Amino acid sequence: MDSETLLARITDYANRPNPYPLYAELREAGPVVRQADGSYLVGTYHEIAALLHDPRMSADPRTRTRGATAFKPPFLRLDDPEHHRLRALTMRPFGPPHSPGRVDAMRGEIDQLTGELTESLQAGRQIDIVDDFAYPLPVTVICRLLGVPREDEPLFRAWSDTVVTAADVRPEEDATGDATERGAAGDQARREMGQYLVDLAEKRRGGPSDDMLSAFVNEPDPALRLTREELAETAVLLLIAGHETTVNLITNGVLTLLRQPEQLERLRSEPGLLPRAVEELLRYEPPVHMRERIPLADFDIAGTTVSQGTSVILALASGNRDPRRFHEPDRFDPTRPDNEHFGFGSGVHLCYGAPLARIEAETALGALIPHLGTARLVQDPPPYRQNAMLRGPRHLLVQL
């Protein structure tokens, strides 16, 4: 196996519809596989779990020896204690399920929005699951939660696209200058998006309303207040996270169920299985395929020494299909027991939007499933988005 080109093949757009055979090759090649550019790829469940919990691994791209950026990242890519402080200050509305958090209180609104979107689902029609359903729902919800006008979507969609394109995992491209240019465009888009969100928050100063930007800017306790820069970075992170991930979970759910009519039928007759089906989707077709970490010192992982400052790509989607951890991992099984997947990551950066994403996916799929009985996929595989790290269909045409 040519391990030198494995990351290049995984990120190659031609393999976007089905990267899973490449992940199997990666796991065969060893827990830790060194790439031609010196970076490492890790695809086995237990090693990924260990590394996500290892304080010697940094999430901060400024600790990279090559390709480091000067721009201070949002807390998703900061280390403790700074990461912990910002995470704790900004996660209050995202309580666990059934807690009185703001997110749980949004169930009614999410139901109502889903109901409105379902009205377009008439038998005989062709719809795009992405544009007509899976995209508008999470975008509208994150706008309401943050306090961003829904009609500004074309504006922040363009920034969001640029930021996630710049943050994608790619084999080293410094020789061509591409990566540097893309990085600069990403930093610029983050700056503009941050300024836009700070301006929105400022308008709410002194006139508190029921949204997160207002809560950030009207925080009475100085110890709990965010700086302008922290507010900008956190609001950008939340808007992008609420915008680019749940769409793929809902779309991947429809795709998986239309490919496996017996599972669709099963969920139609047993809707109580839906929460477990969503967990299984997060394992089987996760929206986030890879994350990067950087060793803060040289150390040994499963017999390979990784060196300080070198990029280590953790292939979460490969860990989710590791046969050493999951029985028959390539089978979609909504009754799978002990399903501790990496769909929301693991360790200190575990996704705190998970309760919201789960409510949205359960509501959306619960409303769609009754309409999918006689539906068929117009194109399989569907066209995919360019991004290898945040992977999902760009469109999913379905004939109802």
- Chain residues binding ligand HEM by CB under 6 A are 59, 75-76, 87, 142, 237-238, 241-242, 245-246, 249, 286-288, 291, 343-345, 349, 351-353, 356-357
Q: Least separation, in Å, of the C-beta of 344 and ligand HEM?
A: 5
Minimal distance, residue 322 CB to ligand HEM, in Å: 16
Cβ at position 246, least distance to ligand HEM in Å: 4
Q: How far apart are the two ends of the chain, measured CA to CA in Å? A: 43
For ligand HEM, the closer CB: 50 or 378 = 50
Closest-by-Cβ residue to ligand HEM is 353
What sections of the chain are H helices per DSSP?
A: 6-11, 20-29, 45-52, 82-90, 107-118, 129, 136-146, 153-166, 178-203, 212-217, 228-244, 246-259, 261-269, 274-284, 316-319, 354-368
Minimum distance from residue 253 beta carbon to ligand HEM (Å): 10
In single-letter form, the type of residue at position 63 comes to T
- Token pair for 34: 């060194």
Distance of closest approach, residue 184 Cβ to ligand HEM, in angstroms: 22
Nearest CB to ligand HEM, comparing residues 149 and 220: 149
At 225, which amino acid appears?
A: R
Of 90 and 263, nearer to ligand HEM (C-beta) is 90
**In the complex, least distance from residue 73 CB atom to ligand HEM, rounded to whole angstroms:** 10
State which amino acid sits at residue 226. Answer: L
Closer of 36 and 97 to ligand HEM (Cβ) = 97
User: Which of 311, 286, 283, 236 is CA-nearest to residue 390?
Assistant: 286
Task: Name which of 130 and 238 has its Cβ closer to ligand HEM.
Answer: 238
Nearer to ligand HEM, 59 or 264 (CB): 59
- Please state the closest distance from residue 122 (CB atom) to ligand HEM, in A: 28
Task: Say what angle helices 246-259 and 228-244 make with each other, to 10 degrees.
Answer: 10
Backbone φ and ψ for 292, nearest 5 degrees, come out as -105, 140
Give 35 or 234: the residue with its C-beta nearer to ligand HEM.
Answer: 234
Q: Does residue 65 contact residue 339 with C-beta atoms inside 8 Å?
A: no
Residue 101's φ and ψ, nearest 5 degrees, are: -60, 160
The distance of closest approach from Cβ of residue 180 to ligand HEM in the complex, given in angstroms and rounded to an integer, is: 23
**φ/ψ of residue 399, rounded to 5:** -95, 120
Please state the closest distance from residue 123 (CB atom) to ligand HEM, in A.
29
> 49 or 378, CB closer to ligand HEM?
49
The residue (of 27 and 87) whose beta carbon lies closer to ligand HEM is: 87
CB-based contacts of 95-100 (< 8 A; 24+ apart in sequence)? 95/355, 96/355, 97/355, 97/358, 97/359
Least distance to ligand HEM from the beta carbon of 350, Å? 7
Cβ contacts of residue 203 below 8 Å, gap of 6+? none
Residue 210 token pair: 């029921």
For residue 3, which amino acid is it? S
Per-position DSSP letters for 326-366, written without gaps between them: SSSTTS--TT-SS---STT--GGG--TTHHHHHHHHHHHHH
| Residue number with CB closer to ligand HEM (44 or 245) | 245
Report the candidate in 115, 380, 337, 110 with the shortest Cα–Cα distance to residue 246: 110
